[in-house]
Structure 1
Amino acid sequence: MNVRMPFRRKIYYLHRRHKFMNRIERQISRFRGWLPRKPMRLDKETLPDLEENDCYTAPFSQQRIHHFIIHNKDTFFNNATRSRIVHHILQRVKYEEGKNKIGLNRLLTNGSYEAAFPLHEGSYRSKNSIRTHGAENHRHLLYECWASWGVWYKYQPLDLVRRYFGEKIGLYFAWLGWYTGMLFPAAFIGLFVFLYGVTTLNHCQVSKEVCQATDIIMCPICDKYCPFMRLSDSCVYAKVTHLFDNGATVFFAVFMAVWATVFLEFWKRRRAVIAYDWDLIDWEEEEEEIRPQFEAKYSKKERMNPISGKPEPYQAFADKCSRLIVSASGIFFMICVVIAAVFGIVIYRVVTVSTFAAFKWALIRNNSQVATTGTAVCINFCIIMLLNVLYEKVALLLTNLEQPRTESEWENSFTLKMFLFQFVNLNSSTFYIAFFLGRFTGHPGAYLRLINRWRLEECHPSGCLIDLCMQMGIIMVLKQTWNNFMELGYPLIQNWWTRRKLRQEHGSQRKTSFPQWEKDYNLQPMNAYGLFDEYLEMILQFGFTTIFVAAFPLAPLLALLNNIIEIRLDAYKFVTQWRRPLASRAKDIGIWYGILEGIGILSVITNAFVVAVTSDFIPRLVYAYKYGPCAGQGEAGQKCMVGYVNASLSVFLVSDFENRSEPTSNGSEFSGSPLKYCRYRDYRDPPHSPVPYGYTLQFWHVLAARLAFIIVFEHLVFCIKHLISYLIPDLPKDLRDRMRREKYLIQEMMYEAELERLQKERKERKKNGKSHHNEWP
């Protein structure tokens, strides 16, 4: 099993990174007046001395047992390692004569056993204070210094987490803590962009013109029941849009694209340090065994393994290709189901905007578009949660249909399917609002329609960005609230119900009289997919934080607040509500790193399109430099935006309305007589021009500027990302030098230890008169 155990004390020197963190802590400690006591620091006096961190380690071998530091044979292997060794044996022992009658997993599958799990090390609570009496066990210690809500502001004791739960779970919490820490600068800059919009709101010329445009009458946004409206009625929405769509938006989009690269590059360095500290640098996974399902399916077809030289089950290439084609078809079908669900939401929005416009309540009638967007987002969230349940079953079916050869192949295939399904499910409506809503509606008198019946939905007079902000904000809040409930609330309710049934069955018998195995059996088992759900939740959040962040700068702040809670929720769940999972080793976060890199690339593209297409940044810029009062002067201040609102609206002759889209109101409430003209958002010629309602020259200038911005933005950001990746090495220099030095010292020490042993044996033989003249000196 290559279990690495300590054999010689290390000589430590202080890392530069430790010096840097100490300086940070000293700076933060100056603000103790408003921060909790000992911010971020761990209480070192409550943590045990983890000896393996202070020693050189090597794979344990019975033949070289004299090389290792053994103070007590009963505690030489810790509890987690002992459980892993026992599980390793139980997986391979033959329980009955027969080719496939091997292993604990098969006995669990056929129902011979109900469950198999390592035990917790006792209760996580104690009547005595940990400061005065110390921790009763490692579980109690983890609860007090990690899972307790009172230590939310302190670092995680990762070494203790790794010692109790294993390297794989320890790496998850290390990654989650690193991601949360990296969200601090992103959340700060995002909050700064939002506050910049707040402080510049009163100086924004565009919102001023919208609020003062009482004489500009806008065309109805839906058929029949939607009335004409003054542009000034959308004053509030114009101001809210400025909070997210202002001069700092482009800077923030570039910053977040670079931030994603820096986060991934520095995580690789952090992972290397953790792998070194946890003796994972030279660790390689054992050659994986073939899955029992694969072996049973292809047991009649065998071929020689070129490495082991033993016959093993073999899957023909044609059979593998046919299964992959069926699986890909299933994936395509499920994506079509997602698109159909989005299409249903689009139809709902198109139909209900007219319904809300004819509503009796004035509050809803006057805000019909916002009511439509809000209810559509809530319905979309319910559809997302329902389809997620279906997706899990379909992904499981398709993955088993593929018949992966090993467990890692099965896990990677299942992970890719689930991520693809949930990513498309969660973001499809957001993509529609960002890039399609209001883009293909036509113009008054010639609207484009669904099934030649329903008129496509238009953007609000203040723009489409407000719809995208509502979509992201509501989905993020609801999704994170639901996930937190399912992670903690559901296990709490289940465990409470189990304890209640036990009290009824055993009467007055106290819970403390139950043995530890029965207490742990009554806890919730870890889900069948291990850490998959934990990673998936955070990866989808990372996508929300980066992909559309240009439209919602507060996304990193919401993610940060959620993750501060998430770390303690997960810790509390692992320590108190779940059975103890089997400790397992891992060198990194696996396939999730590649998915994070893919999201980082996608975020650059989507943010470029959000700034260029969804926001009004490019039209404002074109107007300032080409058509505004400062045209040709090279200026772009607020004074150069005078007249922008009027220039961005086109004129429509009311008599040109189609019969089915003609409003029931004639607009006489505005001027006392039937309205003759109304305005709409577009760059088109007036009705009495040589080409009525044709595109103006300004439209083509804006379109060219948008395309140019997308190309320049993407190339610039990708160049910066690649430059950062090149400049930041994956391995810190001091760690690389230290690894080389220690590798050399380990070889020297092993040689010296062996030589010392041989010399000692020679002396003993001489002393007993058994020395030989030809013995090796």
Structure 2
Amino acid sequence: MLEKEPSLTNTDIMFVKIHAPWDTLCKYAEQMNIRMPFRKKSYFTDWKSKAMGSRFHLRCRQIKSWLPRNPMKLDKEALPDLEETDCYTAPFSRARMHHFTINNRHTFFSNSTRSRIVHHVLQRTKYEDGKSKMGINRLLGNGTYEAAFPPHEGGYKSRHPIKTHGAQNHRHLLYERWARWGMWYKYQPLDLIRRYFGEKIGLYFAWLGWYTGMLIPAALVGLLVFLYGFLTMDTSQVSKEICEANTTIMCPMCEENCNPWKLSDSCVYAKVTHLFDNGGTVFFAIFMAIWATVFLEFWKRRRAELTYDWDLIDWEEEEENLRPQFEAKYSRVERVNPISGKPEPFQPFTDKLSRLMVSVSGIFFMISLVLTAVFAVVVFRLIAMEKFASFDWEFVKKNWQFATSGTGVCINFMIIMSLNVVYEKVAYLLTNLEHPRTESEWENSFALKMFLFQFVNLNSSTFYIAFFLGRFAGRPGKYNKLFNRWRLEECHPSGCLIDLCLQMGVIMVLKQIWNNFMELGYPLLQNWWSRRKIKQTEREERTRGGQNVENKVQLPQWDKDWNLQPMNAHGLVDEYLEMVLQFGFTTIFVAAFPLAPLLALLNNIIEIRLDAYKFVTQWRRPMPARATDIGIWYGILEGIGVLAVITNAFVIAITSDYIPRFVYAFRYGPCVDKEYHHEKCLQGYMNSSLSVFDMGVRWNVSEEQSRYCRYRDYRASPWSPVPYDFTLQFWHVLAARLAFIIVFEHLVFGIKSFIAYLIPDMPKSLCDRMRREKYLMQEMMYEAELEHLQKERKKNGRRYHHEWP
């Protein structure tokens, strides 16, 4: 049934309200195989005898009497409307309607189920004669309708407290028990979220909550590793040698405006580097690789539990409708659908391949654009290096490396955020160019492109600093130059790890702040502007009509929702993408930045409530949809986990100084063939890692005391038979680095595979429970059918006896 309603805030808008009667709901609920409750579960009688159940119940009561209350859990009294999770369910059938628990026809189908049924009907209804003239999506695409959305159940605020007067509706309950910032430490009411927004959005918040909870141990271990570096900063042998090297003259680190300097000038730099490059680095990298595997494996178990609780175990995705754009493009070519047996438009293989090649070419072009931007940042760093080294301000001149890295990171961040806007439009264009067959295919293709674009955009400069910075700089007297003009940047004597840490920290913090503003601040400003225009329009109308200004017109719910912001056109792609990119930052270079899990945890605590507040108060209610998993994102997370093992192995072996220190301690240090003590065995390490250069050849220095300078490399001295050639220690360090990469990767991948094998995808107790429940359902259905036949027989018998003369 359709009903028209003019808008009270915009005379150009007309609302069409759709009402679904009981018979229509029952008809399509049967067609869609929607599972509905038909009997309460009784767990004690299902699993144990009554005696065992009573003893177990008594024991639970005794334990609960002295256990402290968990402040993170929600009170059961706060969620009074979720009794359906304690019921057995079965696919709805009109022929067996007497089996189901129908206490009230108005509440038997939840609002989200009603919306899903109505949307199912609208997608499959023709509005004109013709094969392609069908579905609400096509009407939205051609501008016949501005929008189509289910209304919220009411306001999310109340004048009366919820504890004394109860919740007005599910939206009010979600706001009070989930979306308020004061509930940040509470568990999420996933059943209520699923009931109000649908299973797809419920699974997103379940995954986000699980990911946030799993970050707690990672953040604690990362914080301990950082504290270990902080507490041992002053006792580190390497830092001591650098701080005490008052007579060690280092070669100039830039070409024109830099002078020789003392190694002791970098004392603070060395101590800060020790915060992130210490003995706990290798342990934490292995821990995070195992953590990523445990997180994904246990998420599969958690997903299995949710799909069971939400009756999604036996649910199969129904055959999706074709996208209107696909139908319009390929309406002339048809083939028989192997599932439905009906003719439908078909995309020829040659056309699909050619479009895919164009799309792939576009992806590579955008990636090359990213690399060009990274190259531009590298050139800026080379120019800034010379400028800061000759700066008039002594503080900047003394800390020109920090200034160069800091400004380079900030400029790189601005380039990243600017290119992200371009990437989204390019990904949208390329995905539409491919003409995906269904909406899910379109969403998966778009999500993959957005991930590739933004992942390369965010991490390309980080990869440069981790694996290329200082590797090709050359040596004094024979430096490599870019365009024969700018000398390539080299690492500090303490290593390049601090540059990598600074890059990750700045980008991670700034990106999270920017994303949080765009997710909440921007919709708040838009909604505030919409409310302001509505109040101005109402004031003008009351003035023209001669009404009292204090009289307020109560807007209907659909009018209020129209003035809210629509959900992103890409669905949950942006929400998942933000968290998956953060997962990459947390795992890929975590060896260089152990505080990354802590920053991610703090951000996600805010992110959950921010998203909840946005969904409940700032956005129109999205169309409920069913899903059994997080889709393509799980495969992307697994790929990031594999990449994290490889990158951390290379960071420890190449970027960090862990391997050179290890080789020195066991091969060249004072502890060779003696009892090993870590700090004592590193005595003389800095002198061993610095080579000698004769500045008199290059700078015409004649004084003996300042003729020679030191630089970071393993090369022969100027007076050796083969000056400046690589020493044996260089080849030992190189061999140790390659051996460490191979051993680390094989060890961690072996542990990951073993853990994945040990952890089943579904808990055994859940498997047994599902089998038991299936058996009980068959028995109960049989008994209910038998009871129904007996009642019908008695009823017919009484009627037959009454009618017999």
TM-score (norm 2): 0.91
Q: 1:683 aligns with which of 714, 732, 756?
A: 714
Please tell me whether the aligned partners of residues 762 and 771 of structure 1 are also in contact (alpha carbons under 8 angstroms). no
1:397–1:770 distance in 2 versus 1, CA, 3 Å = farther
Q: Does 1:644 align with 2:676?
A: no
User: Aligned equivalents of 1:209 and 1:28: distance in 2?
Assistant: 57
Please tell me whether the aligned partners of residues 123 and 321 of structure 2 are also in contact (alpha carbons under 8 angstroms). no
Please tell me whether the aligned partners of residues 352 and 434 of structure 2 are also in contact (alpha carbons under 8 angstroms). yes
Name the residue aligned to 2:149. Answer: 117
**SS of residue matched to 1:62:** coil
Name the residue aligned to 1:383. Answer: 415
How big is each residue's C-alpha offset from its partner over 1:179-234, in whole Å with a ceiling of 9 and x where there is no partner?
00000000000000001111112221100000000111111111110121111111
Q: AA paired with 2:513? A: T
1:656–1:636 distance in 2 versus 1, CA, 3 Å = farther
Name the residue aligned to 1:216. Answer: 248
Please tell me whether the aligned partners of residues 132 and 327 of structure 2 are also in contact (alpha carbons under 8 angstroms). no
Please tell me whether the aligned partners of residues 29 and 39 of structure 1 are also in contact (alpha carbons under 8 angstroms). no
Q: AA paired with 1:371? A: A
Stretch deviating more after TM superposition (571-580 or 194-203): 194-203
Q: Does 1:738 align with 2:769?
A: yes
Name the residue aligned to 2:581. Answer: 540
Name the residue aligned to 2:606. Answer: 565
Name the residue aligned to 2:695. Answer: 654
1:640, distance to aligned residue in structure 2 (A): 0.6
**SS of residue matched to 2:279:** coil
Name the residue aligned to 2:23. Answer: none
Q: AA paired with 2:294? A: V
Please tell me whether the aligned partners of residues 695 and 701 of structure 2 are also in contact (alpha carbons under 8 angstroms). no
Name the residue aligned to 1:435. Answer: 467
1:39, distance to aligned residue in structure 2 (A): 1.8
Q: AA paired with 1:171? A: L
1:26–1:206 distance in 2 versus 1, CA, 3 Å = farther
Name the residue aligned to 1:294. Answer: 326
User: Aligned equivalents of 1:90 and 1:5: distance in 2?
Assistant: 22
1:330–1:201 distance in 2 versus 1, CA, 3 Å = same
How big is each residue's C-alpha offset from its partner over 1:102-161, in whole Å with a ceiling of 9 and x where there is no partner?
222222122221111111111111111111111111111111110011111111111111
Runs (5+) with no aligned partner, structure 2: 1-31, 49-55, 540-548
1:509, distance to aligned residue in structure 2 (A): 6.9
Q: Does 1:168 align with 2:209?
A: no
Name the residue aligned to 1:753. Answer: 784
Q: AA paired with 2:302? A: R
How big is each residue's C-alpha offset from its partner over 1:661-710, in whole Å with a ceiling of 9 and x where there is no partner?
x6xxx999xxx988311111000001111111100000000000000000
Stretch deviating more after TM superposition (282-291 or 182-191): 282-291
Please tell me whether the aligned partners of residues 223 and 354 of structure 1 are also in contact (alpha carbons under 8 angstroms). yes
Name the residue aligned to 2:186. Answer: 154
User: Aligned equivalents of 1:463 and 1:509: distance in 2?
Assistant: 70
Name the residue aligned to 1:33. Answer: none
1:81-92 to structure 2, matched below 5 A, reads: 81-92=113-124
User: Aligned equivalents of 1:60 and 1:770: distance in 2?
Assistant: 35
User: Aligned equivalents of 2:140 and 2:433: distance in 1?
Assistant: 22
Q: 1:485 aligns with which of 517, 525, 539?
A: 517
Please tell me whether the aligned partners of residues 625 and 634 of structure 1 are also in contact (alpha carbons under 8 angstroms). no
Q: Does 1:504 align with 2:530?
A: no
Q: Does 1:709 align with 2:740?
A: yes
Stretch deviating more after TM superposition (376-385 or 755-764): 755-764
Name the residue aligned to 1:597. Answer: 638
Q: Does 1:472 align with 2:513?
A: no
1:203–1:532 distance in 2 versus 1, CA, 3 Å = same
Name the residue aligned to 1:448. Answer: 480
Name the residue aligned to 1:721. Answer: 752
How big is each residue's C-alpha offset from its partner over 1:54-73, in whole Å with a ceiling of 9 and x where there is no partner?
11111112222111100001
How big is each residue's C-alpha offset from its partner over 1:406-460, in whole Å with a ceiling of 9 and x where there is no partner?
1111111111111000000000000000000001111011111112221110112
1:512, distance to aligned residue in structure 2 (A): 6.3
Percent of counterpart pairs with the same letter? 73
Q: 1:612 aligns with which of 653, 661, 664?
A: 653
User: Aligned equivalents of 1:553 and 1:767: distance in 2?
Assistant: 80
1:39–1:163 distance in 2 versus 1, CA, 3 Å = same
How big is each residue's C-alpha offset from its partner over 1:541-585, in whole Å with a ceiling of 9 and x where there is no partner?
000000000000000000000000110000011111111111111
Q: 1:623 aligns with which of 619, 641, 664?
A: 664
User: Aligned equivalents of 2:628 and 2:286: distance in 1?
Assistant: 32
Please tell me whether the aligned partners of residues 272 and 731 of structure 1 are also in contact (alpha carbons under 8 angstroms). yes
Q: 1:318 aligns with which of 350, 358, 371?
A: 350
Q: Does 1:403 align with 2:435?
A: yes
User: Aligned equivalents of 2:376 and 2:764: distance in 1?
Assistant: 55
Name the residue aligned to 1:775. Answer: none
Name the residue aligned to 2:545. Answer: none
User: Aligned equivalents of 2:163 and 2:345: distance in 1?
Assistant: 58
1:753–1:490 distance in 2 versus 1, CA, 3 Å = same
Please tell me whether the aligned partners of residues 685 and 691 of structure 1 are also in contact (alpha carbons under 8 angstroms). yes
User: Aligned equivalents of 2:65 and 2:652: distance in 1?
Assistant: 38
Runs (5+) with no aligned partner, structure 1: 31-36, 773-777
1:367–1:98 distance in 2 versus 1, CA, 3 Å = same
1:11–1:27 distance in 2 versus 1, CA, 3 Å = closer
Name the residue aligned to 2:570. Answer: 529
**SS of residue matched to 2:96:** helix
Q: Does 1:550 align with 2:591?
A: yes
User: Aligned equivalents of 2:223 and 2:795: distance in 1?
Assistant: 74
1:97, distance to aligned residue in structure 2 (A): 2.7
Q: AA paired with 1:80? A: S
Q: How well do the aligned residues superpose, as a CA RMSD in angstroms?
A: 2.2
Aligned length: 752
Q: 2:92 aligns with which of 60, 77, 82?
A: 60
Stretch deviating more after TM superposition (297-306 or 338-347): 297-306
Stretch deviating more after TM superposition (746-755 or 437-446): 746-755
User: Aligned equivalents of 1:119 and 1:290: distance in 2?
Assistant: 26
User: Aligned equivalents of 2:553 and 2:680: distance in 1?
Assistant: 76
**SS of residue matched to 1:202:** coil
Name the residue aligned to 1:584. Answer: 625
1:510–1:170 distance in 2 versus 1, CA, 3 Å = farther
1:755, distance to aligned residue in structure 2 (A): 1.6
1:304, distance to aligned residue in structure 2 (A): 2.0
Stretch deviating more after TM superposition (463-472 or 84-93): 84-93
Please tell me whether the aligned partners of residues 523 and 618 of structure 2 are also in contact (alpha carbons under 8 angstroms). yes
Please tell me whether the aligned partners of residues 357 and 365 of structure 1 are also in contact (alpha carbons under 8 angstroms). yes
1:232-251 to structure 2, matched below 5 A, reads: 232-251=264-283
User: Aligned equivalents of 1:380 and 1:53: distance in 2?
Assistant: 50
1:7-406 to structure 2, matched below 5 A, reads: 7-13=38-44, 39-406=71-438
Q: AA paired with 1:594? A: G
1:161–1:509 distance in 2 versus 1, CA, 3 Å = farther
User: Aligned equivalents of 1:509 and 1:271: distance in 2?
Assistant: 53
User: Aligned equivalents of 1:358 and 1:548: distance in 2?
Assistant: 33
User: Aligned equivalents of 1:684 and 1:445: distance in 2?
Assistant: 13
**SS of residue matched to 1:58:** strand
User: Aligned equivalents of 2:320 and 2:178: distance in 1?
Assistant: 34
**SS of residue matched to 1:552:** coil
1:138–1:307 distance in 2 versus 1, CA, 3 Å = closer
Q: AA paired with 1:683? A: Y
User: Aligned equivalents of 2:394 and 2:43: distance in 1?
Assistant: 73
How big is each residue's C-alpha offset from its partner over 1:330-359, in whole Å with a ceiling of 9 and x where there is no partner?
111111001100000111111110011111
TM-score (norm 1): 0.94
